[in-house]
Structure 1
Amino acid sequence: MSILGRAQPVASEAVSAAGCAHCGARLAPGQDRFCCAGCEGAHALVAGLGLSAFYARRETEAGALRPETMVAGLDLAPFAEQLRDGTQRLELVVSGLTCGACIWLVEQALAAEPDVLSARASLSARRLTVTWRGEAARANDIAALLGRLGFRVAPWSPACLRATEDAEGRALTRALGIAAFGSMNIMLISVAVWVGGDMGPSLRHGLHWLAAMIGMPVVLVAGMPFYRSAWAAIRAGRPSMDLAVSLGVLATAAMSLSETLRNGPYTWFDGATMLLALLLAGRVFDRAARRRARQSVAELLALQEGMVTRLLADGHLEAVPAEAVAAGDRVLVSAGERLRLDGVATVDALLDAAATTGESVPRLFAAGDALPAGAVNMGAAFTMTVSAAAKDGSLAAMARLLERAEQAKGRFVAIADRAARFYVPVVHLVAAATFLAWWGLLEAPWQVALVNAVCVLLITCPCALALAVPAVQVVAVGALFRRGVLVTSATALERLATADHVVLDKTGTLTEGRSVLVPDAQDDVVLCRAASMAKASRHPLAQALVRACPDAPLAEGVREIPGQGLECGAARLGSPAFCGLGASADGMTMVLRDGDAAPVSFRFADRMREDAPTAVAALKSLGLSAELLSGDGEGAVAAIAWQAGITDWRSGVDPVAKQARIATLRDEGRHPLMVGDGINDAAALAAAHVSASPAGATDLAQTASDLVLQREGLSALPAAIRIARRAQAIARGNIGFSLVYNAFAVPVAAVGLVTPVIAAVVMASSSLIVVLNALRAAKD
């Protein structure tokens, strides 16, 4: 039974003394557990679903999940898309997703619905994709359920995501402006106190009060980004570095206020406000760096934003958003216009696909070819038939793969997360021990002891553990995408960096996968006769024969004998054995035998990709040994291996043998990189240490691969290995830098050799160092 319309009993949890049991907002006098009826209902809903563990894990800002902040909902039924199997799919942008616990709550709450087939949320994109059986109107029920939990929803679009990010950025920048303005003014007051050696107590006391009047509001308002995060961490039972910052700033301000009240000689309002300004500046720069690191997804989705010109059935044109166009619609693509959607060309079209594949030269697409979204029309205007809506197109699919690769956790990220969780409580213990040692053992004034403890809290920096390692992964994934390599696995970069042997398929990988007729002394009449018969077959060699003589008319009465050839009266066209000759060693020969006339042979070749020899040489220069496995005949494989510079090759290898060879290499302790494009390569691709498929590979091969080469050729593969190795080296370097930095900085702060301001400067600098170091992963 659905829980959407079912009342839930209130869970019997302990009353939260700090705030609302659901959203965490401060309780007004007379309120017991909840700040409003909406939170009470949401809490009951969570308890009824058996998801109360959410409250122990979340890191949501206090009050952010209050259901009463919801705006009256938009009718979402028109935004639901019916799939081919009759199910409905809806994509929403969800406000309030701030941590993994929120993702868990949303997905589990929707999974409890009996008609919901899947619910997947993305934290970085704040996108929720839900599929269900039933009517489109259920979209509003799903939105209502999320609203009762305190999440605000809207139809998903890149514009919605940018609006949310801009709002967060403005709030952070506003806090920085307040802190910077306050710190500069308080610094002027502090300079007057410092240089006024003969200043009377009354004047000094008045300046302290003036500094307090400026400093306290600044500390309370500008520090809210840290305080909210710290409070969320406390409620979740997981101390964070924002808690250390908050304690340090508030302790410094409280100590300064105490000194002001007792007319002490010194206050530290300048240090507290300057500390906030520096930390907020670091946070702004850090956010900008992370946004730059993740801009690949935003840039990709931006390619499909905008208006397109749709052709109506009556011949008229109308401008509509790209999201409103469905598969089967016809659109006009003007000269210089970017294709917002995938389609099929009705005429030949010259397109620049550099935005998605990295190809530097425009490519000519023939009529009937699939046209990729994101390409730019470099020729005359043409019409195309849309093959997929924006949500189902290649750009959206690539964006989802990028999001998955960026968010999923590899080995370094998982280790860093565990280390950061252990590291933060230790820092607080060290700070407490510093205070007790100075105050109790050294008998220093409590103000001095507190300043040193605050310095310990502020100078620590686990950024390489908590941020810079994931940033390296995001930067590297984005850099590879811009070079035409799509990373589809979370651990692909780590495994690619350790590859030491490459196994290459031949057809479609080292070669273009498109046979061409070898120029010979064939009679034009004979060639035309053969091409006329070949038009009745879809065999690759027959189609190559047709391409060699495209004007040949279609012969009548042609009968195809599968696996052998074609018959048309007394004429036969097919394999040498079918035509009464010996079997071909390479399978790349067709013979025409027309009655009693002498048989004529047509030889074909699968052309080597132009960059294949260079790519193989580059892989060898990186320390990888190369091997060629192919199911083709010995002659064809030997020729391609010689041209590519590969000495280790095998012919006649079936899919089972390919997989067995990969297993043998792994048993020998090797780390094989498998590169293949066909259905027959899928098993070997899945079994390899790491795998890649070239442009034009089958869907099955691309699904089994860790990397997909979007541009034609193999030249991007050596670059991908170099970037992967650089990324892993940078990740290890960031972890090492963090450990060395903290091992040196914490003792220096504990013995009282730094002030809070200096500690903030050092900590902010170290944060920027590891983030900027992570951005180096984008270099080849």
Structure 2
Amino acid sequence: MTASTFVVEGMRCAACIARLEHGLAALPGVAAARVNFTNRRVRVDHLDEIGEDRLIDAIDGLGFTAHAFAGEAADSGRSESRRLVLALAVAGFAMMNVMLLSVSIWSGADGATRQLFHWLSALIALPTVAYSGRVFFASAWSALRRGRTNMDVPISIGVLLTLAMSLYETALGGAHAYFDGVVMLLFFLLGGRFLDSVMRDRARGGVDALLRRLPAEATVIARDGAHQRRAIAELAPGMRLLVTAGERIAADGIVEEGESAVDRSLVTGESAPETAAAGAEVLAGTINLSTPLVVKVTRAGEATAIADIARLMESAGQSKSRYMRIADRASRLYAPAVHTLAALTLAGWLVAGLGWHVALTNAVAVLIITCPCALGLAVPVAQVVASGALMRAGVLVKDGSALERLAKADRALLDKTGTVTLGRPVVTGGLPGAPGERAILHALARASRHPSALAVAAALADAPAAPLADIVEEAGFGVRGLVHGVEVRLGRPGWAGPADTDASILFRIGDATPHAIRVADRERDDAAAAIARLAALGLAPEILSGDAPGVVEALAGELGVHGRARLTPQDKYAVVQAEEAAGHRVLMVGDGINDGPALKAAWVSMAPAGASDVGQMAADLVFVGARLMPVPVAVAAARRTMRVVAQNFALAIGYNVLAVPLAVAGFVTPLIAALAMSGSSLVVVANAMRLRSAAR
């Protein structure tokens, strides 16, 4: 299965999103298609044998123009804003001139003078509509020639009908022409679309700003010691970089020489600099503050942590919440409903005997005012803005629908090691003294990524490692292997030895008495405050751990919560299942392989950035840094986001409920309809922009 991303031009509303996603998903060999409306992109998961050219042809057949994404979407968004502002300027200039002529007509000009001013207005309006209106006409024609409609079709019909009515009246010497209304209509429609484009640019600015944190070039140290300036696209793992004081680091890597303070706020959200010495990991986009460092590149380009963060933020805008699915269904009914309603309005006013002029004017108002833009923007803009705010607070949203689920969570279950604690334990006693035993223990410990095993491996770093055979790690239990045909184990009590001990882990060779190794881990500095805030949010936090009862009880007592000890992965999974069966919606926060089943089973899940690959893949959100506070911050932000989404839906639906009957009844002119339609979209986007401060 391959994932391809395309930049799509011509997407205007939720109906466009639904058409793209359902049209592409219906193709043989396509597993899924997800639109990111804010970034004008669609991601398609498809079989390898389906080429990108075929998918581009399919998108073209759906009424859109597309090309493969090559990192240029931010520029294309800005170029769209430039095109809109140019068309807006032309429409504005024409509007002022036509209005000057109209004022004379309103002031009482009659006969030949009125006709002259009407024709002068027509000479200004015709080229203006041809130039400024092409934004709408091109999109409408692209849809119509493929047998489809979009929101630009009724707008184009409304503009052209108003222009045609005005030309007809002018040619017959009539008293009424609406050239001023036509250009004002275009001006306000373009103004609304331009502001919408600018605000969407701001909404997606988090991803663009994130990627702009990378420097354009880096200093590479060649094998002969020479220094070369290279573009970051040319960097590769294994290269050595010289990072001077004040310079941004261009790739992820390991410090080989030097010691300096590094500003990691970009990826951790913490303002205090951290010390980076030889052996420390540094990330692309962070800043070397004090002295030069020599860094060996481990990941570059699209493989860096900052690129992963950007991808997570992108994916957050592509997933479907319940509200988004409602908007999709409503958008499919839009085109037939609005054209039917406009036709009925036209027929109704004609039957009432008001004539073609009044009937057409009211039908045009209905066509323009019934726009689904606000409904289509209600959810994706809120998701993108909230995801950007959470990113700045150190939380990465992998799935947009996770915000909806997180907002409804009412129970919090937290793993202990690596989640409530830092996951960097140290050995406090119990290591064997015999060199042979220490060598076997070292070999077992370094075969596992469990924090306790890493602590043992660090404590035995100076000891040799014995050769082991058939090494197997059993998630949630420990690691075992064979040395000279004898089984050796390192793991939890009850698996590596007797269960009736308060030791953190046991080390056993064959049937010999196991060594009880004591390991201590430090809780995160803000763990107590974070747990208290979760409780205040009504989530009733509880600690789940595979550690010894004494250790878990001590930590739980200190934090004022209930804790469960000696839990296997199956036990944690069962606890989550039981809570869900009791009607709770569980937020599971965990980091290890042993938490994977529970993370997947939970209503919504989070994992720290230092979690195992299994933990990060299973989680819906990932938080970075050494603090636990991002967990309750994310819950509060999710709840605020869903309140804003509900407000946006109420605004969008309320607008149509109020505006459409007024337009059908003849109380709304096409000009007022254009203002109302643009205003509804801007109100929804502006309301979503309040979420920029949601992560507090």
Give the TM-score of the pair, scaled to structure 1: 0.75
Q: Give the whole-Å Cα distance in 2 for the aligned partners of 1:741 and 1:152.
A: 31
Say which of 618, 623, 644 aligns to 2:559: 644
- The superposition leaves residues 151-173 of structure 1 with CA deviations (integer Å, 9 ceiling, x where unpaired) of 99999654x33332232222111
1:279 aligned partner: 189
- The superposition leaves residues 597-616 of structure 1 with CA deviations (integer Å, 9 ceiling, x where unpaired) of xxx99964211111111111
Say which of 412, 420, 435 aligns to 2:331: 420
Q: Give the whole-Å Cα distance in 2 for the aligned partners of 1:254 and 1:131.
A: 47
- The superposition leaves residues 568-588 of structure 1 with CA deviations (integer Å, 9 ceiling, x where unpaired) of xxxxxx9999xxx99873324
2:77 aligned partner: 165
Distance 1:185 1:97, change over 3 A: closer
- The superposition leaves residues 604-643 of structure 1 with CA deviations (integer Å, 9 ceiling, x where unpaired) of 4211111111111111111111121111110000011112
Q: Does 1:430 align with 2:346?
A: no
Q: Is the 8 A contact 1:516 1:607 kept in 2?
A: no
- The superposition leaves residues 261-298 of structure 1 with CA deviations (integer Å, 9 ceiling, x where unpaired) of 01111211111110110111110110111111112222
2:606 aligned partner: 692
Which residue identity lines up with residue 190 of structure 1 in the other structure?
A: S
2:86 aligned partner: 174
Q: Does 1:761 align with 2:675?
A: yes
Matches within 5 A, 1:25-424: 124=39, 126=41, 157-158=70-71, 160-195=72-107, 197=108, 199-347=109-257, 348-424=259-335
Say which of 475, 478, 483 aligns to 2:388: 478
Q: Give the whole-Å Cα distance in 2 for the aligned partners of 1:741 and 1:118.
A: 33
Equivalenced residue count is 658
Q: Is the 8 A contact 2:442 2:466 kept in 1?
A: no
Which residue identity lines up with residue 738 of structure 1 in the other structure?
A: A
Q: Is the 8 A contact 2:247 2:288 kept in 1?
A: yes
SS at match of 1:383: strand
Report the Cα offset of residue 514 of structure 1: 1.8
Q: Does 1:677 align with 2:591?
A: yes
Say which of 370, 378, 385 aligns to 1:460: 370
Report the Cα offset of residue 698 of structure 1: 0.8
Q: Is the 8 A contact 1:339 1:376 kept in 2?
A: yes
Matches within 5 A, 1:527-676: 538=445, 554=462, 585-588=501-504, 604-647=519-562, 649-676=563-590
Q: Give the whole-Å Cα distance in 1 for the aligned partners of 2:119 and 2:572.
A: 80
Distance 1:472 1:261, change over 3 A: same
Q: Give the whole-Å Cα distance in 1 for the aligned partners of 2:229 and 2:65.
A: 31
Distance 1:315 1:104, change over 3 A: farther
Distance 1:318 1:490, change over 3 A: same
- The superposition leaves residues 59-92 of structure 1 with CA deviations (integer Å, 9 ceiling, x where unpaired) of xxxxxxxxxxxxxxxxxxxxxxxxxxxx9x9988
Report the Cα offset of residue 306 of structure 1: 0.6
Higher mean C-alpha deviation, range 382-391 or range 234-243: 234-243
Q: Give the whole-Å Cα distance in 1 for the aligned partners of 2:3 and 2:334.
A: 41
Higher RCO (CA 8 Å, separation ≥ 6 residues): 2
SS at match of 1:213: helix
Alignment RMSD (CA, Å): 4.2
Say which of 632, 649, 657 aligns to 1:743: 657
Which residue identity lines up with residue 520 of structure 2 in the other structure?
A: A
Structure 1 unaligned regions, length at least 5: 1-86, 568-573, 592-599
Distance 1:272 1:555, change over 3 A: closer
SS at match of 1:659: helix
SS at match of 2:425: strand
Report the Cα offset of residue 486 of structure 1: 0.9
Report the Cα offset of residue 723 of structure 1: 1.4
Report the Cα offset of residue 125 of structure 1: 6.4
SS at match of 1:364: strand
Q: Is the 8 A contact 2:592 2:612 kept in 1?
A: yes
Q: Is the 8 A contact 1:304 1:390 kept in 2?
A: no
Q: Give the whole-Å Cα distance in 2 for the aligned partners of 1:145 and 1:506.
A: 47
Q: Give the whole-Å Cα distance in 2 for the aligned partners of 1:689 and 1:712.
A: 25
1:36 aligned partner: none
- The superposition leaves residues 484-536 of structure 1 with CA deviations (integer Å, 9 ceiling, x where unpaired) of 11111232111111100011101111111122466x9x9xxx9xxx9999988
Q: Is the 8 A contact 1:535 1:543 kept in 2?
A: no
Report the Cα offset of residue 363 of structure 1: 1.7
Q: Is the 8 A contact 1:179 1:218 kept in 2?
A: yes
1:500 aligned partner: 410
Distance 1:623 1:712, change over 3 A: same
Q: Is the 8 A contact 2:219 2:243 kept in 1?
A: yes
Which residue identity lines up with residue 205 of structure 2 in the other structure?
A: Q
Report the Cα offset of residue 327 of structure 1: 1.3
Report the Cα offset of residue 692 of structure 1: 0.3
Sequence identity (%) = 40
Distance 1:305 1:429, change over 3 A: farther
Which residue identity lines up with residue 371 of structure 1 in the other structure?
A: V
2:689 aligned partner: 775
Q: Is the 8 A contact 1:357 1:710 kept in 2?
A: yes
Q: Specify the structure having the higher radius of gyration (Cα).
A: 1
Q: Is the 8 A contact 2:261 2:290 kept in 1?
A: yes
Higher mean C-alpha deviation, range 427-436 or range 147-156: 147-156
Q: Give the whole-Å Cα distance in 2 for the aligned partners of 1:249 and 1:367.
A: 68
- The superposition leaves residues 116-138 of structure 1 with CA deviations (integer Å, 9 ceiling, x where unpaired) of x999997736588999999xxx9
Which residue identity lines up with residue 513 of structure 1 in the other structure?
A: G
Q: Give the whole-Å Cα distance in 2 for the aligned partners of 1:318 and 1:91.
A: 35
Give the TM-score of the pair, scaled to structure 2: 0.83
- The superposition leaves residues 349-371 of structure 1 with CA deviations (integer Å, 9 ceiling, x where unpaired) of 42211112212211223422332
1:710 aligned partner: 624
Q: Give the whole-Å Cα distance in 1 for the aligned partners of 2:104 and 2:677.
A: 28
SS at match of 1:339: coil
Q: Is the 8 A contact 1:531 1:542 kept in 2?
A: no
Report the Cα offset of residue 211 of structure 1: 0.4
Q: Give the whole-Å Cα distance in 2 for the aligned partners of 1:479 and 1:583.
A: 46
Distance 1:467 1:583, change over 3 A: closer
2:476 aligned partner: none
Distance 1:692 1:431, change over 3 A: same
Which residue identity lines up with residue 595 of structure 2 in the other structure?
A: D
Q: Is the 8 A contact 2:21 2:33 kept in 1?
A: no
Report the Cα offset of residue 457 of structure 1: 2.1
Q: Give the whole-Å Cα distance in 2 for the aligned partners of 1:155 and 1:321.
A: 23
